[in-house]
Amino acid sequence: MTLPLPQSLSAPDPDPAPEPPAFPDPVRFKEDVEQLLHRFLTHKAELTTEGGRLPNLVDPITELLAAGGKRVRPVLTMIGWHAAGAAGDPDTALHLAASLELFHAFAIIQDDVMDRSVTRRGRRTVHQAQTADCERRLPAVGLPPRAGAMERFGESAAILIGDLALLWSEELFRLGHPTPAQLERVTPLLSAMRFEAIVGQYLDLEAGTLHRGDLESALLVAHLKAVKYTVEAPLQLGAALAGADQALMDALSAYATPLGEAYQLRDDLLGVFGDPDRTGKPVLDDLREGKATVLITLALQQADPAQQDQLRLFLGSPSLTPDQAEVARRIIEATGARQAVESMITDRYERALGALASFEAPTADALRRLAAGAVRRTA
């Protein structure tokens, strides 16, 4: 029989492993990101203007962020970090999450220039605001306006401001002091996300110009701009920061792929049928740009010759009127394209929910709520 050791000779209890941070409501993630972005940009405004000697290029970014936004990417980053055990400094994870919102600011500022969008989140786009500011200052220097000069200035200024947001997104991540091991895991994923987002935007431009009209190309754009950049990359970046294994990374992709496609398909519908008061963007933009979305591609494929001719007349017309846009919407509805896209969204939403079977609560609960919000949103 083995006798118990005296207390003084017993092996000491090992130090318990540190408990990962509790999984808060994702709303808290958004609030923490907002506060960090505010502190970072306030500091940048103080540093970069040199007391008014230099132009304030921070305010346009600050105003864009203050106008709203769902902060989907930062929230997903924090969920991915918690899904992998929330290992490491929470402040590092928060800085990574917030840096993705600055990258998103870069992307949408330049996207608005390319799409010639007038409003974003219910306010003037950055290039429109820069144009108006230049027009306001012109009389003070006593120069006559040159045709197109103000618009060119506004667009060029917006591109530079977007570049600043891109530059600062990297700086903000580094301010979270990631360890060498974290950098080794995260940097390749960050580089791939940035590349894929830019390639997706290029293909979007190409499709709208060349009007190839094939569904495969439209789905590829959706995959790069929504699956990779909006859902999969943020989730995997957060998980990689915490040291996730390949099995978890694959499980996150199984959820992210159908959800990202559903997210972009909902965006396509809102771009044509949405309420501008809710979306913050004119409902004519996608039609005026002739965007080769899945919705438009399906409509053209399923339309009869007369419908095709009329749709092609309206698509890509910068002078498209609200009445003409309404005719285009009726044609799209008549082809069954709108209902087809709704069915595609439902199918992908259900596949995303099915992928959550391998996740434990509360991660699964948070991802389930996020999926519902992504596909049922009106803005």
Q: Is the pLDDT of residue 3 over 90?
A: no
**Residue 13 pLDDT class (50, 70, 90 cuts):** very low
**172-200 residue pLDDT tens:** 999 999 999 999 999 999 999 999 999 99
Strand positions, DSSP E, the chain:
119-120, 123-124
**215-247 residue pLDDT tens:** 888 899 889 988 999 999 999 999 999 999 999
The total of other beta-carbon atoms located within 10 Å of residue 87's CB is 15
Q: Whole-model pTM above 0.85?
A: yes
14/148: higher pLDDT: 148
**Residue 212 pLDDT class (50, 70, 90 cuts):** low
H-only helix segments in 211-245: 215-222, 233-241
CA–CA gap between residue 23 and residue 362 (Å, rounded): 7
**280-334 residue pLDDT tens:** 877 888 898 888 899 999 999 999 999 999 999 999 898 999 999 999 999 999 9
Pair of tokens at residue 350: 């259900």
Q: What is the mean pLDDT of the chain?
A: 89
What's the pLDDT score for residue 301? Answer: 93
Q: Are 218 and 264 in contact (CB under 8 A)?
A: no
Q: Is the pLDDT of residue 8 over 80?
A: no
CA–CA gap between residue 201 and residue 222 (Å, rounded): 10
**Residue 24 pLDDT class (50, 70, 90 cuts):** low
Half-sphere exposure in the Cβ direction for 81 (13 Å, CA): 30
Q: Provide φ and ψ at 68, rounded to 5°.
A: 135, -155
What's the pLDDT score for residue 18? Answer: 56
**249-289 residue pLDDT tens:** 999 999 999 999 999 999 999 999 998 888 887 788 889 88
Strand partners, 119: 124
> By mean pLDDT, which of 137-141, 357-361, 366-370 is the weakest?
137-141
What are the CA-CA distances from residue 372 to residues 140, 176, 353 (Å)?
A: 52, 31, 9
Pair of tokens at residue 300: 């053209």
Q: Are 123 and 66 in contact (CB under 8 A)?
A: no
Amino acid letter for position 202: Y
Buried b (16+ CB within 10 A) or exposed e, 114-125: bbebebbbeebb
Q: Provide φ and ψ at 120, rounded to 5°.
A: -145, 125
Position of tokens 């970046």? 237
